């Protein structure tokens, strides 16, 4: 889940440097974690330029899903008695489909 938080920070800030400051970490490890997330998903989430990043189509598709996982399983210490909101499950696919390994 942390990788998704890193993704949201970079998407919202528009640069790895500002996102890293916001997350209290260095830009290089942040970039490495985003690369790991992209490799795990099998697609690029950002178009990287020298001083900024832009979302790819896959990044734009993933960003609205943050409402589902942004508050993850961290227990709330507030006094709210209301149940958590019900959200549809997050699903992603890789295109083109790959055949299972033999």
Torsion of CA 89, 95, 97, 102, to 10 degrees: -100
Contact present, 61 and 46 (Cβ < 8 Å):
no
Over residues 32-90, the pLDDT tens digits come to 999 999 999 999 999 999 889 999 999 999 887 765 555 544 434 344 444 444 445 55
pTM passes above 0.95: no
């Amino acid at each position: 889940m942390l990788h998704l938080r890193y993704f949201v920070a970079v998407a919202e800030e528009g640069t790895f440097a500002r996102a890293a400051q916001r997350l209290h970490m260095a830009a290089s490890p942040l970039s490495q974690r985003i690369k790991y997330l992209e490799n795990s998903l099998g697609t690029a989430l950002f178009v990287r330029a020298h001083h900024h990043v832009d979302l790819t189509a896959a990044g734009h598709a993933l960003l609205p899903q943050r409402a589902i996982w942004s508050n993850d399983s961290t227990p709330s210490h507030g006094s709210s008695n209301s149940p958590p909101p019900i959200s549809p499950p997050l699903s992603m696919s890789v295109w083109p489909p790959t055949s299972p390994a033999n």
